[in-house]
Amino acid sequence: ENELSIPLPDEAATERLGARLGALLQPGDFVSLSGDLGAGKTALARAAVRARLGDWQEEVPSPTFTLVQTYEAPDLLITHVDLYRLDRPEDAAELGLGDALDEGALLVEWPDRLGRLPQDRLDISIRLVGEGGAREAHLTGHGQWAARLRELHDP
Ligand code: ADP
Ligand code: MG
């Protein structure tokens, strides 16, 4: 099974999933983050980055305006990308995401703006469920990520 659903009843649950993801990341990892505006893609990515940077790191800015934000964790380079404001798909080539993936892990919001995605990748889709603001994450592991999915299970 290369799919996994994880309930995210509150923001803390989103942060715990992000922390588990952050702990798992390796160079060459491509993670796509899908879902409506406000679903929690950035919250998840920030939690992953924070888990890897260590507690001393207070501020993890959002890449909404810069498109690309790079974080140097002690043992991993993490590049967080938000392509919502990428107007033309051609412009994606200038972002240097191929190099970022060679050197570290890539977390990409609005991955559909890229066109082609790597075959080895983790797709995370977040959607709202019910009335109270709860979310659910749906994870799909492609290629080598299929076997790594279960490590993201709620403990
Ligand atoms: P996106 O990047 O998908 O547009 P953001 O992460 O910027 O969304 O914003 C999501 C908002 O929802 C944040 O205010 C965050 O605190 C909140 N949030 C995240 N996960 C949950 C959750 N599981 N339940 C309720 N609120 C959440
Ligand atoms: Mg966002």
The CATH number of whichever domain residue 39 belongs to comes to: 3.40.50.300
Residue 44 sits at φ, ψ, to 5 deg, of -65, -45
116 versus 141: the higher-pLDDT residue is 141
Does residue 43 line the site of ligand 1, with CB under 6 A? Answer: yes
**How far is the centre of ligand 2, averaged over its atoms, from the C-alpha of 153 (Å)?**
23
The pLDDT, as a whole number, for residue 117 is 93
Q: Which band of pLDDT confidence, cut at 50, 70 and 90, is reported for residue 56?
A: low
What is the residue type of 139?
A: L
- Surrounding ion ligand 2 within 5 Å at CB are 41-42, 109
Atom of ligand 1 nearest to the CA of 8: 23
Mean pLDDT throughout 78-84? 94
**How far is the centre of ligand 2, averaged over its atoms, from the C-alpha of 151 (Å)?**
24
Q: Which band of pLDDT confidence, cut at 50, 70 and 90, is reported for residue 55?
A: low
The pLDDT, as a whole number, for residue 111 is 95
pLDDT above 70 as % of the chain: 92
Mean pLDDT throughout 123-136? 95
- Report how far Cα 143 is from the mean position of its chain's Cα atoms: 17
Q: For residue 88, is pLDDT > 90?
A: no
136 falls within a domain: yes
Minimum-distance ligand to the CA of 36? 1
**Range(s) of the domain holding residue 135:** 3-86+93-149
Does residue 63 line the site of ligand 1, with CB under 6 A? Answer: no
Q: How many domains does the chain have?
A: 1
C-alpha to C-alpha distance for 38 and 84, rounded to whole angstroms: 12
122 falls within a domain: yes
**Ligand 1: which of 5, 6, 11, 84 to mutate, judged by most atoms within 8 Å of the beta carbon?**
11
Q: For residue 63, is pLDDT > 90?
A: no
What b/e string do you get for 2-36 counting C-beta neighbours within 10 Å, with b at 16 or more? eebebebeeeebbbbbbbbbbebbeeebbbbbbbe
Contact 136, 126 (CB under 8 A): yes
130 falls within a domain: yes
155 falls within a domain: no
Does residue 61 line the site of ligand 1, with CB under 6 A? Answer: no
Q: For residue 64, is pLDDT > 70?
A: no
134 falls within a domain: yes
Q: Which of 133, 106, 138, 111 minimizes the C-alpha distance to 39?
A: 133
Does residue 11 line the site of ligand 1, with CB under 6 A? Answer: yes
